[in-house]
Amino acid sequence: MSRLIFFSGGVESTAMLSIADPQDQLVTVVWKNGWYAPSVDMQKSKKIAQEYGFEPMIVSIEFSKPERAEFVHQMDSFVTLGNMLVKAYGFTEVWSGLHSAEPNPKSKPYHERTLRAWDVLCPEARFVRPLSHLSKKHQWDLIPEHIKPLVVTCAVHDVFHSGCGKCEERKGLFHDAH
């Protein structure tokens, strides 16, 4: 199997590396003028990947922060890029991170439509969320302690360790309730 893994440096994508094969291809997307400071994110993401034995392919996409939810915008970018990379390199499986409390009710219809579109546009490769049955807390626990300080846990408030807790909808993400 030839696998492409979308890696953002966040909790879910970092947890996926604990079950991935270093022969898999990692792709990291850097959003310029978007949510993150690209130089900080890129350094931390690259360090995380290397700790797991990966050398990520880095793709830079430039745009302004949209009015839509981050999850929706990230899915647009990943699905579009994934489709192109599958066609170019012949990957048979594409992994992307998700935890058991996602997608939330607001983004769920969009998420389902996106996955149906993937099946139509790219039937040669399965789109897989391998850890989606686990809570964010359980995924966090899969990450080795020495890597946790590098992991982005909140894209809104630039928190790089142990959960922000500032956003009402994110307060419970590091608890076992999900």
**Is residue 153 pLDDT above 80, yes or no?**
no
Vertex 32: Cα angle to 30 and 36 (nearest 5) = 70
Whose structure tokens read 């996602």? 102
DSSP string of 73-108, one letter each residue: HHHHHHHHHHHHHHHHH--SEEE----TT-S-TTTH
Give the pLDDT of residue 75.
Answer: 65
**Is residue 137 pLDDT above 80, yes or no?**
yes
**Is residue 117 pLDDT above 60, yes or no?**
yes
Exposure string over 65-86, b if 16+ CB within 10 A, otherwise e: eeeeeebebbbebbbebbbebb
- What does each C-alpha distance from 101 to 3, 14, 19, 77, 113 come to in angstroms? 25, 17, 20, 21, 18
Mean pLDDT of 42-46: 81
Question: What's the rounded Cα separation, in Å, for the pair 69 and 141?
Answer: 26
Residue pair 49/57 in contact (Cβ under 8 Å)? The answer is no
Q: Which range has the top average pLDDT, 19-23, 110-114, 171-175?
A: 19-23
Question: Is this prediction's pTM over 0.85?
Answer: no
Give the pLDDT of residue 38.
Answer: 47
Give the pLDDT of residue 48.
Answer: 92
Give the pLDDT of residue 17.
Answer: 94
> Average pLDDT over the chain, rounded to whole?
77
N- to C-terminal Cα distance for the chain? Answer: 31
Mean pLDDT of 114-120: 88
Residue percentage of the chain with pLDDT more than 90:
27
Nearest Cα residue to 58 out of 95, 32, 91: 32
CATH number of 3-170: 3.40.50.620
**Is residue 163 pLDDT above 70, yes or no?**
no
Mean pLDDT of 135-161: 79
Give the pLDDT of residue 53.
Answer: 92
pLDDT category, 55, cuts 50, 70, 90?
confident
Residue pair 98/74 in contact (Cβ under 8 Å)? The answer is no
Domain ranges of the chain: 3-170
**Is residue 149 pLDDT above 90, yes or no?**
no
